């Protein structure tokens, strides 16, 4: 029979194995993890996994340890999922919007409507005149990001989507910089087309 501490440790380990753990959503798991942090981290360290925690933002997730020179790399914990073009673009746009939200001194959660996310993507689909196709691609992108835990539809609210802060861990500053350069190129190309 497990002790209370063993049960709390096992619960934290299993919940982390399922995906991202949010302090606000899984308070009892988060509290158990904080009390048994060493045991949980040691468990995963044995199999080459790091527990990545952002206590300030209130989330934790697992990641395969970085390769050490001379060692054979371990298999990935989770297979990489290839994002569609629209999902990749939406992830970067949402990350940018989240950075702007935080830079503006806003507290709380960034909540957007599906229409707002579709509008964000529409800017990059100017060549397409088929609005239904644009909306369909955006909807699939939102679902893909939801399945990855980057956005979450809010309960008891119609068409309200929270952008989860864990997105910052997946779309880093370097990616944002690369994307800014692509946006500038895109804007320059659009301006040249309009000038003709």
| pLDDT tens column, 36-51 | 889 999 999 888 889 9
Mean pLDDT along residues 114-118 = 91
> In this predicted model, what pLDDT tens digit does every residue of 119-156 receive, in sequence order?
888 877 766 667 788 888 889 999 999 988 889 999 88
- Report pLDDT for 127: 62
Cα–Cα nearest to 36, from 60, 1, 57, 19: 60
In angstroms, the CA 162 to CA 65 distance is 29
Please tell us whether the domain made up of 85-195 is placed in CATH 3.40.50: no
Token match 């060493």: residue? 38
- Report pLDDT for 181: 72
């Amino acid at each position: 029979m497990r002790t209370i501490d063993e049960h709390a440790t096992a619960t934290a380990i299993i919940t982390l194995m399922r995906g991202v753990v949010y302090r606000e959503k899984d308070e009892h798991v988060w509290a158990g993890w904080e009390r048994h942090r060493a045991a949980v981290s040691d468990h995963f360290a044995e199999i080459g996994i790091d527990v990545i925690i952002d206590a300030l933002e209130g989330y934790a997730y697992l990641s395969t340890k970085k390769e050490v020179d001379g060692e054979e790399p371990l298999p990935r914990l989770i297979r990489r999922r290839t994002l569609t073009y629209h999902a990749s673009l939406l992830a970067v746009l949402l990350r940018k919007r989240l950075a702007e939200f935080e830079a503006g001194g806003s507290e709380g959660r960034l909540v957007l409507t599906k229409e707002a996310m579709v509008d964000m993507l529409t800017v990059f689909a100017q060549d397409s005149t088929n609005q239904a196709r644009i909306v369909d691609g955006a909807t699939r992108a939102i679902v893909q990001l939801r399945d990855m835990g980057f956005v979450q539809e809010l309960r008891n609210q119609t068409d309200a989507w929270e952008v989860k802060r864990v997105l910052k861990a997946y779309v880093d500053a370097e990616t944002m910089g690369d994307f800014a350069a692509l946006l500038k190129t895109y804007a320059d190309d659009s301006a040249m087309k309009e000038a003709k």
